[in-house]
Structure 1
Amino acid sequence: MGRLAPLFAVLVPLAIAIGAWFMDGQGSLSRGLEAGTPSGSTDEPVTPATKPAIQASRPMAGKGFDFYVLSLSWSPTYCDSDAGRNNRAQCGTGKRFGWVVHGLWPQYERGYPQDCESAEGSRVPDAMARGIIDIMPGIGLIGHQWRKHGSCSGLPMADYFALVRQVHDKILIPPQFSSVREPLQTSPATIEQAFIRSNPGLTRSAVAVTCDSQRVDEVRICLDTSLAFRTCSEMDQRSCKRSDLVLPPQP
């Protein structure tokens, strides 16, 4: 036993050192796999369970402009146009969209910025686009709106689309115009008043209705960068001047 003592004195510390090295290696490997696994890989199929949540809990102020215009388009009017008839994403069989987001546009008091340079480039990743396609139907539309308008918001791409979602959710659609099954005779003043009643703080100087020859086209609502309603005389000047309009029915 006396002769084995020196051997034990060597082997025991060596075994302890090997065990510590092995455990540290396993731990490092585990941490490396966790850190290297993306939580929202764009290669994953986009389903309701994995769809990116493009949301924001508070207003995100843009910069370099004066206010926003939220443009809500009545989809059946667009789908009855030449461009809409060829748009299967928004107007194909089984598509029953009503009010959709045409865009959220940074505006000057007169005019607006467009096609600004962005470090994030011009292409909206498919996974990000599919996170907002329920209210802005069409990958092409989403990409166009980012390039022309979102790039001028001063916000990162993800924050801009989160803001689009936030502003959309802020606006309450009047019940009589939320679901239309028969052609509805109306007027710009009637639509404006209905939106004003449904959205406290909204005034006639902050909302405008546009039209084509006879049909309701869009409702445009002006908001400052804190998302409070505000006047916008230029939008009001461009509003529909007809007194009688038709709101086409949803398919």
Structure 2
Amino acid sequence: MKAAFLVPVLAALWPAPALSDGVAGEFDYYILSLSWQPAWCRTTGDGRDAPECQNGSGRDFVVHGLWPQYERGWPDHCETRERDPSRRDTQAMGDLMAPGLALYQWRKHGRCSGLSAAGYYAALREAAEAVRTPAVFDDLPRDIALPPAVVEDAFIEANPGLTADGITVTCKAEALAEVRICLTRDLEPRACAPDARRDCARSRVLMERIR
């Protein structure tokens, strides 16, 4: 997976959870969320002259977060005795995400994992490195509109063990926003719970070419 430098606001907003808090360590599975960087560049990054949006940056699917889930609903902002990560800890995640996003993900999702900040970041890194992004999207000659199922099928082909009920594609307006992959607590592929299967309802989603 290519390096990514994201800010918290780039992410397509996940709807308000069924539960607004929870008990640290009490959850059923994870969602690994991967954002399509060119979409954020078009809607937000270009207006900020973000360096990650410059031509030649080559960033495609980038890490948004690793989210504990229940079989119905999900926790967030859990109480935990674990310390927040240090600046050094968040900066060490810089090859995957901006330090500010790393801190945000810990506060909202990582505290619910029951892990230490270091343990959560290690799990996030392990999950991200285990997922192969399809090479077919590396050389898009131009912006292209594809059925969401084509994106899902490309991930399934690139990742043995991943099945159609374990991945979902989300969109924002007409554009691809994220690919979300469901993983066990041991970070193995599994089926998503019904409330996490929020496939984009559009017949096609715009995929901007990689910068």
Q: Same fold judged by TM-score > 0.5?
A: yes
Q: Does 1:159 align with 2:107?
A: no
**Residue 127 of structure 1 is aligned with which of 88, 109, 116?**
88
Q: Does 1:106 align with 2:40?
A: no
The offset of 1:86, in angstroms, is: 3.3
Alpha-carbon contact 2:170-2:199 (below 8 Å) kept = yes
Identity %: 40
Task: Provide the C-alpha distance between the structure 1 equivalents of 2:57 and 2:79, rounded to a whole number of angstroms.
Answer: 34
With over 3 angstroms needed to count, the CA separation of the structure-2 counterparts of 1:223 and 1:84, relative to structure 1, is: farther
Aligned AA (1:212):
K
Q: Does 1:244 align with 2:201?
A: no
- What's the TM-score once normalised by structure 2's chain length? 0.80
Alpha-carbon contact 1:209-1:219 (below 8 Å) kept = yes
Partner residue, 1:68: 30
Partner residue, 2:100: 140
Task: Provide the C-alpha distance between the structure 2 equivalents of 1:112 and 1:82, rounded to a whole number of angstroms.
Answer: 28
Structure 1 portions without partners, runs of 5+: 1-61
**Residue 174 of structure 2 is aligned with which of 206, 214, 231?**
214
Task: Provide the C-alpha distance between the structure 1 equivalents of 2:206 and 2:137, rounded to a whole number of angstroms.
Answer: 12
**1:109-149 Cα shifts (integer Å, max 9, x gaps):** 11111011233444x3222222222122x122111111000
Alpha-carbon contact 1:99-1:178 (below 8 Å) kept = no
Instruction: Report the number of matched residues.
Output: 187
**1:69-121 Cα shifts (integer Å, max 9, x gaps):** 00000111112224773383654687442111111000011111101123344
Q: Does 1:97 align with 2:41?
A: no
Q: Which runs of 4+ in 1 moved over 6 A?
A: none
Aligned AA (1:113):
P
With over 3 angstroms needed to count, the CA separation of the structure-2 counterparts of 1:127 and 1:91, relative to structure 1, is: farther
The offset of 1:170, in angstroms, is: 0.6
What pairs up with 1:191-230 in 2 under 5 angstroms? 191-230=151-190
Q: Does 1:78 align with 2:40?
A: yes
With over 3 angstroms needed to count, the CA separation of the structure-2 counterparts of 1:139 and 1:91, relative to structure 1, is: farther
Which structure carries more relative contact order (alpha carbon 8 Å, separation 6+)?
2
Aligned AA (2:203):
S
- What's the TM-score once normalised by structure 1's chain length? 0.68
Structure 2 portions without partners, runs of 5+: 1-23
Task: Provide the C-alpha distance between the structure 2 equivalents of 1:87 and 1:163, rounded to a whole number of angstroms.
Answer: 32
Name which of structure 1's ranges 238-247 and 82-91 shifts more when overlaid on structure 2.
82-91
With over 3 angstroms needed to count, the CA separation of the structure-2 counterparts of 1:168 and 1:242, relative to structure 1, is: same
Alpha-carbon contact 1:132-1:161 (below 8 Å) kept = yes
Task: Provide the C-alpha distance between the structure 2 equivalents of 1:165 and 1:64, rounded to a whole number of angstroms.
Answer: 21
Task: Provide the C-alpha distance between the structure 2 equivalents of 1:89 and 1:67, rounded to a whole number of angstroms.
Answer: 34
Aligned alpha-carbon RMSD (Å): 2.1
Aligned AA (1:217):
A
Aligned AA (1:128):
D
**Residue 133 of structure 2 is aligned with which of 146, 157, 173?**
173
Task: Provide the C-alpha distance between the structure 2 equivalents of 1:118 and 1:130, rounded to a whole number of angstroms.
Answer: 22
The offset of 1:175, in angstroms, is: 1.1
**1:148-193 Cα shifts (integer Å, max 9, x gaps):** 0001100000010011110011111111124545212311100111
**Which of the two has higher C-alpha Rg?**
1
Task: Provide the C-alpha distance between the structure 1 equivalents of 2:119 and 2:128, rounded to a whole number of angstroms.
Answer: 14
